Amino acid sequence: MEHGVPLTPSLSPGGKGDDGALLYPNLGRGMWTRRLFLKIGLGTFLLGWRFVSKAWAKAKQLLPKGFPKNQLLNMNPAEIDNQNLEIDPLDQFGTMGPTDVAIDLKTYRLKVTGKVVRPLSLSYDQILKHPSLTETVLLICPGFFSNNGRWTGVNLKSLLQEAQIKKEAQYVDINGAHGKGVRISLKTINQKRIFLAYRVNEEPLHQKHGFPLRLVYEDAYGYDWVKFVEEVVVS
């Protein structure tokens, strides 16, 4: 109310400033109230339906236990909910890319550089002392193989927090010792299970799978799961 004048017009028919009377002069109080109710109800329904439709479009397909592995080969990992799938034995894991890159742990350092306040240079032992996480994440090499494994490693977000990324930073480049790398937005890192693994299925990461560190990248195809990770560059 301003100087005694209501800011919201009356919904009762008749009188000055009455939107109902101006738009529908022949409607009585009951008819106008029903018409308004129907309009509000329809608008609410349409808004809710749009929300449900978007959520449904983003929903992943929940695969049942025993789902044929050969059918996974041509599926998009971003569209799969793997929580019911069996863990694949490590000796059945497929491999891709270089498998013979040798890393000397005595000299190995994981470097976190770029747009950070405190650049990091961590030995393998220091990495193992960081809080760990374990997640079941599905890797798909399209047309060739799929690995559904229990990966354990260091949270990439915690490393970035320790390095204190600068406000203007937008991306992170994960680089491997063999020259392979991938760029990921900070927004994506905050939304998905993305971390650096040093164990899989309760065993230390084998050399052919990227020892000492391999990027676990939920929803991405296997060629973006960088092996032999040695550098994280914030840009």
pLDDT in tens, 222-231: 999 999 999 9
Cα–Cα distance measured from residue 148 to residue 127, given in angstroms and rounded to the nearest whole number = 24
- What's the whole-model pTM score? 0.76
Q: Identify the residue with better confidence: 33 or 170.
A: 170
Cα–Cα distance measured from residue 182 to residue 102, given in angstroms and rounded to the nearest whole number = 21
Cα–Cα distance measured from residue 146 to residue 92, given in angstroms and rounded to the nearest whole number = 10
pLDDT tens track for 15-41: 444 444 434 444 454 544 555 444 445
Write down the H helix ranges in 59-123. Answer: 69-72
> What are the structural domains, with CATH classification, of the chain?
1-59 (no CATH), 85-234 (3.90.420.10)
pLDDT score, position 158:
95
pLDDT score, position 168:
97
Q: Counting beta carbons within 10 angstroms of the beta carbon of residue 14, is it exposed (0 to 12), middle (13 to 18) or buried (19 or more)?
A: exposed
Instruction: Give the count of alpha carbons within 13 A of 128, CB side only.
Output: 9
pLDDT score, position 1:
44
CA angle, corner 141, sides to 139 and 147, nearest 5?
35
pLDDT score, position 6:
40
Nearest to 211 by CA among 231, 196, 221, 222: 196
